[in-house]
Amino acid sequence: MKVSVKVPASSANIGPGFDCLGMALPIYNTITIEETVLPGTGIEINVMSEEESIDDMVFDSIPRDENNLVYKAVEMLYNSIGQEPSELKINIQTGIPITRGLGSSSSIVVGGLLAANKLLGNPADETALLAIATEVEGHPDNVAPAILGGVVLATQEEDGTLSYCKLDWPEEWDITVCIPDFELSTEIARSILPKEVPMQDAIFNAKRLAMLVHALNVKDAKLMKVALKDKLHQPYREKLVPGMKEIMEAFKHEDGVLGCVLSGAGPSMLIISYKYDLDKVKSTVKDIWEAQNIKVDIRTLKVEEQGAVVF
C-alpha cells in the first residue's frame, strides 16, 4: 500500500503570536510512504526537490535515516499503538524552500504522520495527530495550519493537551511573502532568544495578540496595524537577518502596510497590506536586499484554506 500527503507551507508567529499563531500558504511538499514487501529492507528515505536553486549543502544535510523528522514522527505514531515501523519507503518531494521560515520541516512531519495514520487504518484523530506533530516540532504554530489549513491559533498545555481554533483572514488583506536566498536554521534562530523576557515586553505582546484576534474578527485594518508588532522574538533575531530592520523601517509609516513581520524563525518576511501598491512592496524589499547582494523571491499569496490532503 502507498499513501501520499500534500502539505502546505506555513508562516508562524505573524507578529505577536510567537509559538502559537500561524497561517497555511499555497506552496507544498508531498510526502509518500510505501510499505515495501521485502522483509529486512528497513526504512528508506528519498528527498527530491522541485527547486532548482536549492543549496546542495542544505539539501544533502537532510538526514535520510532515523534522524529524519519524518521518521521520528512516523515512529511516534506507530509506538502510540504499540507497534514499530519497519520496511517503509518514504519519498519527500519538496516544493517549500528549506530553512527559510516557511514550515518546511513541519510539513514533512505532518505528511509523514498523516500517511502513516492512513497506512495503519486511521488509529489517531486530528487532535492526536496534532499533539504528536507538536511534540516532534516543539510548538504547534506551523503544524496546526499545515494540518488544518487557514489561520490557526493553537496552544499546548503542560500535560500535552492541545486547544486550537481557526481565525478568518480578510480576503482583501494582501500577504506578500519575501524569501531571501540565504538559510537560517530554526535551531540557531531559537538559540539566540533569551530564557526570560522583561514583563513589559510580555505585556506588549499579550495586548497585541488579543488585538490581532479582534482585528481579524472585525476586519479592522487600523487595529491590525497596531497589533502586528512583536517584542518576544523579532528584536533578537534582527541581527541574524541582514536587511530585516531596513525593510521594517521602510514600511513603518506607510498607512496601507499593516505589518511587516518575520515569517516563523526567519529569514523570510511577510508584508501584510491593504489597498497598497504591491509593486511598491516588491520593489522596496528587492532594493533593500539586493543592495546587500541578497537575491529574493517575492510572491503575493492567499492563505491556503485547505490543510494537508491525503491521497
Binding residues (CB under 6 A) for ligand HSE: these are 12-13, 18-19, 139, 141-142, 186, 189-190, 233, 264-265
Between 75 and 230, name the residue whose CB sits nearer to ligand HSE. Answer: 230
For the bound state, the minimum distance from the C-beta of residue 142 to ligand HSE, rounded and expressed in Å, comes to 6
Contact criterion met (CB below 8 Å) for 148 and 133 = no
Residue 40, all three cell numbers:
529486512
- The number of residues in the chain equals 311
Minimum CB separation from ligand HSE for residue 255, in Å?
28
Buried b (16+ CB within 10 A) or exposed e, 166-197: bbebbeebbbbbbbbebbbebeebeeeeeeeb
How far, in Å, CA of 167 to CA of 209, rounded? 13
For the CB of residue 302, give the shortest distance to ligand HSE in the complex, in Å.
21
Sign of the CA dihedral with 272 first, then 276, 282, and 287 last: negative
User: How far, rounded to the nearest angstrom, does the alpha carbon of residue 51 sit from its chain's CA centroid?
Assistant: 18
Q: How far is the CB of 143 from ligand HSE (least distance, A)?
A: 9
Check if the beta carbon of residue 103 is closer than 8 Å to that of residue 142.
Answer: yes
Q: Given the complex with ligand HSE, which of 30 and 268 has the nearer CB atom?
A: 268
In contact, 273 and 256? CB cutoff 8 Å: yes
Least distance (Å) from ligand HSE to the CB of residue 212?
15
CB of 12 to ligand HSE, least distance (A): 4
CB of 231 to ligand HSE, least distance (A): 13
Task: Considering the complex, state which of residue 13 and residue 107 has its C-beta at the smaller distance from ligand HSE.
Answer: 13
Closer CB to ligand HSE, 120 or 167, in the complex: 167
Give min distance, CB of 91 to ligand HSE, in A.
24
3-state helix/strand/coil string of 109-154: HHHHHHHHHHHCCCCCCHHHHHHHHHHHHCCCCCHHHHHHCCEEEE
For ligand HSE, give the closer residue by CB, 59 or 236. Answer: 236
What does the alpha-carbon distance between residue 173 and residue 20 come to, in Å, rounded to a whole number?
Answer: 21
Nearest to 187 by CA among 96, 265, 243, 244: 265
Residue 139 or residue 225: which is nearer to ligand HSE going by CB? 139
Q: Which is nearer to ligand HSE, 52 or 187 (CB)?
A: 187
Tell me which long-range contacts 123-131 makes (C-beta under 8 A, separation of at least 24): 123/77, 123/80, 123/81, 124/77, 124/80, 127/162, 128/80, 129/77, 130/154, 130/162, 130/164, 131/156, 131/160, 131/161, 131/162
Which is nearer to ligand HSE, 18 or 173 (by Cβ)? 18
Q: Are 10 and 111 in contact (CB under 8 A)?
A: no
